[in-house]
Chains A and B, each alone.
Chain A
Amino acid sequence: MFDRLNRDRITAILMLLPSIVLVAVFVYGFIIQTGATSLTDSNAVQQLSRMPANNVGMRNYEELFSGVLNNRFRIDVVNTVFFTILFIAVCLGLGIGLAILLDQKVKGESLFRTIFLFPMALSFVVTGVVWKWLFNPTSGLNVLPTYIGLPPGTSNWFVDEGRVLEFNWQDFGLIIAFVILGVVIALALWQWSKKQSQAAAFFAAIALLVLAWITFGDPRQMTALPRAETHGFNVALIAVVIAAGWQMSGYTMAMYLAGLRGVSEELREAGRVDGCNEIGVYRHIVLPLLAPITLSAIIILGHISLKIFDLVYTLGGGDNLYIDMPGINMWYTTFRAQEFARGAAIAMIMLLMVAVVIVPYLWSSLRGENKS
């Protein structure tokens, strides 16, 4: 609008300019600087010596993934993967369950909604402090079963030393390759079922490429770790998932509830006329309409879990490698151990992980907006 008012147009751009500059410097400029630091050997000793840091190329990254002396980052990567999967599963499951329950025209809906959503208003630090007390191994949640005559729980919660689903880090490349293969095959079959044979063929071709990589390329070489190193799902993470799920599932509930309110009663009635019972109405009519919300929720929750810091810090992360995460590792490496370059490398990997999730999301939402 307002094409005629040229002077005002310039004023408008000038008013936006400070913010553009701030974001350009504080987001992109600083990211570039972090990236540059991650390619050096910058640390406290180097800074004290007042000598410029040496360029070491990708060595910090290689060290993180295959350095024999320090396996902490590899623990973090495995923890993040398991935590993210469980955290998203809990939040989606609880979120949609609670939303459907609240969608049944219940009395006191707003009270229930307030109860399920209030943890979102809290700081992760508050959540951490409170749950630390509840996760006390000799008391807390563990004694709750005794109030209904059951034996007390024996979990050590976030200090549990148990580990299941163990694997050798040297196989990590292979596992990733198989996961990619599985996803691509699933995508191909999904497109096939929708009679999109072109897209199905596209994914099938990628699947063949991945298969060729597994057979001939030996993805195990990716890790370059000289000796076997066992990793797995640390049971202690369940405690973090419970605390984080308690805080965040109200959020997914709110998203789903907003979506459910958008499904018109006429549409549901049409389903009932077609012979669906209440469960059928949800399965065949309502839930398919909520698919985009599920995708948004997965992306939002996923990027939160990749970045998780406060909660783990408060639960004693930093000292507790069973629940350690990249964000914690980066912070302690940088600001306690003063290994700036290594910390910067961890930060860049975190950024990359988040970008992989967020960039396509931003792209598609804004493109959709421009179309409409």
Chain B
Amino acid sequence: MSAAAQSLSRQGATEQPVKSSRRSIGRYVVYGLLILFAVMFLIPVYMVLVTSFKSIDQVNLTTMWNFPTNFTLDSFTRAFERLAPNFFNSVLLVVPATVISAALGSMNGYVLSKWKFPGANVIFPLMLFGMFIPYQAILIPLVQFLRGIGMYGNLYGLIMVHVVYGIPITTLIFRNYYAEVPNELLEAGAIDGAGFFGIYWNVLLPISLPGFVVVIIWQFTQIWNEFLFGVTIITQSTSQPITVALQNLSGSQIVEWNVQMAGAFLAALPTLLVYILLGRYFIRGLLAGSIKG
């Protein structure tokens, strides 16, 4: 951002007066297009809001786009009644899964960036491949395995699954984060007599907060939004995470669109809040998975 601001002033200084009228037409086009696209992107949001503030008798196909004639929170209370248990299931799922996978990722990242051992260059890409596979390719043995150890159909199994399949991305983010930490800093710790854990605890961990924020936000969003594992592993509706419950709500016979939209809003709220409040870190996590480390 600051770089952009700098270049803005530089460009302003060199701008020639002759071109300015053409430039300003260009500016209108730029803003016009941006506003047009922004409106298009917000159409679904508009629809969710106007529909979920309506009562069921106001929801019909002819007045779908209209504002509600009288605002009611009825749909939200109805959606909350239906989805509250699943909302809390998702919380119970996301919190431990996120914390454990962040801790694991941090340790793995530390080893892979600072304690390179022979074969690490083979193990790391093999690990990374795990985050790209279609999970269908492991789903059948996974279900059998979870059945075998009594973790099928409950949240513990789902937590474990998210921790395990979260290892590649959390390791990648921490490895890249710790790679930026100068080795001299760690060597200073080593000279002070600290060993493997001492260096981690006293030198690395205190400066790891931004890395943890990125990983925690990323895992939180991913696990909260996840559907395939949830719908496969959890069979009882009372233990289902919110995405599965929302899908069931939308697939049910009686189509109460206002309750569905309110439900969608409810399911989206936590990740949306995280995105709005901590968007910068969210984008960093997003790009970590794509741009080479």
Shortest Cβ distance from B117 into A: residue:
A13
**B232 & A335 in contact (Cβ 8 Å cutoff):** yes
Contacts of B134 in A (CB 8 A): 306-307, 327, 347, 350-351, 354
Q: Do the beta carbons of A123 and B290 come within 8 Å of each other? A: no
Choose among B108, B135, B246, B261 the residue that contacts A125 (Cβ–Cβ < 8 A).
B246
- The verdict on A48 contacting chain B, using a C-beta distance below 8 Å, is no
* Chain A contacts with B in 64-106, Cβ cutoff 8 A: 94, 97-98, 101-102, 104-106
State the total of A-B contacts with C-beta under 8 angstroms. Answer: 296
Contacting residue for B167 out of A2, A9, A19, A350, CB 8 A: A19
How far does the Cβ of B279 sit from chain A's closest Cβ, in whole Å? Answer: 6
How would residues 135 to 163 of chain A score, 1 for a CB under 8 Å from any chain B CB and 0 otherwise?
01011100110010000000000000000
**A1-60 at interface with B (beta carbon < 8 Å):** 1-2, 5, 7-9, 11-13, 15-16, 18-20, 22-23, 26-31, 33-34, 37
Smallest distance from the beta carbon of A222 to chain B beta carbons, Å?
Answer: 24
Assuming the contacts A8-B195, A254-B287, A265-B10, asked whether A31 and B44 have C-beta atoms less than 8 A apart, the reply is no
Knowing A98-B37, A124-B227, A309-B227, the reply to whether A23 touches B130 (Cβ < 8 A) is: yes
Establish whether residues A331 and B140, one from each chain, have CB atoms under 8 Å apart when the complex forms.
Answer: no
Q: Whole-angstrom distance between the alpha carbons of A254 and B288 in the complex?
A: 12
State whether the Cβ of A174 lies closer than 8 Å to any Cβ in chain B: no
Q: Which residue of B lies closest to A12 (CB)?
A: B115
- B268 within 8 A of partner (CB): yes
Residues of A within 8 A of B (CB): 1-2, 5, 7-9, 11-13, 15-16, 18-20, 22-23, 26-31, 33-34, 37, 94, 97-98, 101-102, 104-106, 109-110, 112, 114-134, 136, 138-140, 143-144, 147, 246, 250-251, 254-255, 258, 261, 265, 269, 278, 293, 296-297, 300, 303, 306-307, 309-310, 313-314, 316, 326-327, 330-331, 334-335, 340, 343-344, 346-348, 350-351, 354-355, 358-359, 362-363, 365-366, 368-370
Interface residues of B (CB under 8 A from A): 1, 3-4, 7-8, 10-11, 14, 26-27, 30-31, 33-34, 37-38, 41-44, 47-48, 51, 61-62, 64-65, 104, 107-108, 110-112, 114-115, 117, 121, 123-130, 132-142, 145, 164-165, 167-168, 171, 183, 186-187, 190, 195-197, 221, 224-228, 231-232, 243-244, 246-247, 249-251, 257, 260-261, 263-264, 267-268, 271-272, 274-276, 279, 282-283, 286-287, 289-293
